[in-house]
Amino acid sequence: MTAWRLNRRAALGLLGAGPLLVALARRPRAQTLDKLSFQTDWRAEAEHGGFYQALAAGLYRKAGIDCDLRQGGPSLNINQLLLAGRIDMCVSNSFQAFTFLREEAPFVTIAAIFQKDPQVLIAHPGSGVTGLDKLKGHTLLIASGGRVTYWPYLRKKYGLSDDQLRPYNFNMAPFLADKNAVQQGFLSSEPYSIQQALGQPPEVLLIADAGFSAYQTTIAISRKLATEKKELIGRFVDATLEGWAQYLKGGPAIEAANALIKKDNPAMR
């Protein structure tokens, strides 16, 4: 009888504590987030909008990820940062993926944001350079990256020469000073700035239209991370793609993302 009474009292006590236990169970707990560092390939700009949208809209955090989004720049070799283990992942391109394979490096490409490379060549209005087949005789301002990717393709297809090449220092001043010059750029960036400077739109030649088929803004990570934290990387990719889906819709929903871009890169307008 005594044992029954003790058990009965315990049961009654637990019943009386029911609402309290429910309240404790419902009390929000601090979420433990997985940390990931992600390096972009250039200063913050619209070409990184989906990443910033995923950050601003809390999509990474919702996916359980504390994303350290870092902007790149002309002085950073982001692939070296990845190889040295100083970052978890970075924005890369399809050519780097081939390099990983050729060098048997323990790194892989897991996603591609742009299925069509937005790389362009830009000529002065009225220069007569209305197509990539009109580049002969013009000074071409192309950076080292372009010289080992799209330039060999263009040189062979259109019979161009390395003698036409001059360094591109990511400054449009040399181009503006030379009406015979043609410079590299991104479809969504440099043409706009050059139009503002010239007061009229320049000739913009999309290299992809010449048949140069390459993915752009890919995401590269170590093979070790891809293998050991496959589920985490899957969450990151899903959140990133949702960020891009939202960003491409535009409107008030992306104002916070654009504010983050301008915070990282005040030169953006």
Q: Which residue has the tokens 């990184």?
A: 48
Helices 49-56 + 255-264 axis angle, to 10: 110
Q: What pLDDT band is residue 98 in, cutting at 50, 70 and 90?
A: confident
Residue 30: per-residue pLDDT: 54
Residue 158 contacts by C-beta under 8 Å, 6 or more apart in sequence? Answer: 132, 133, 135, 136
Instruction: Render pLDDT for 151-188 as a digit per residue (tens, 0 to 9).
Output: 999 999 999 999 999 999 989 999 999 999 999 999 98
Average pLDDT in the 202-230 region?
A: 93
The CATH homologous superfamily for domain 34-115+215-264 is: Periplasmic binding protein-like II (3.40.190.10)
Please state which architecture CATH assigns to domain 119-210: 3-Layer(aba) Sandwich (3.40)
Instruction: Render pLDDT for 103-134 as a digit per residue (tens, 0 to 9).
Output: 898 999 999 998 888 999 999 999 999 999 99
Bridge partners, residue 66, by sequence? 35
Residue 96: per-residue pLDDT: 83
The conformation of residue 201, written as its DSSP 8-state character, comes to P
List C-alpha distances in Å: 238 to 60, 84, 167, 190, 233.
9, 26, 38, 30, 9
Residue 214 contacts by C-beta under 8 Å, 6 or more apart in sequence? Answer: 93, 94, 95, 117, 149, 150, 208
List C-alpha distances in Å: 177 to 32, 171, 250.
54, 11, 36
Q: E strand or H helix at 172, and its extent?
A: none
Rounded Cα distance, 127 and 123, in Å: 7
Asked whether residue 22 carries a pLDDT value surpassing 60, the answer given is no
Bridge partners, residue 114, by sequence? 216
Work out the percent of the chain whose per-residue pLDDT is above 70: 88
Residue 145 contacts by C-beta under 8 Å, 6 or more apart in sequence? Answer: none
pTM given for the model:
0.77
Asked whether residue 15 carries a pLDDT value surpassing 50, the answer given is no
CA geometry: angle 107, 110, 112, nearest 5 deg: 125
Residue 5: per-residue pLDDT: 36
Do the domains at 34-115+215-264 and 119-210 have one common CATH topology? yes
Residue spans of the domains in the chain: they are 34-115+215-264, 119-210
Q: What pLDDT band is residue 11 in, cutting at 50, 70 and 90?
A: very low
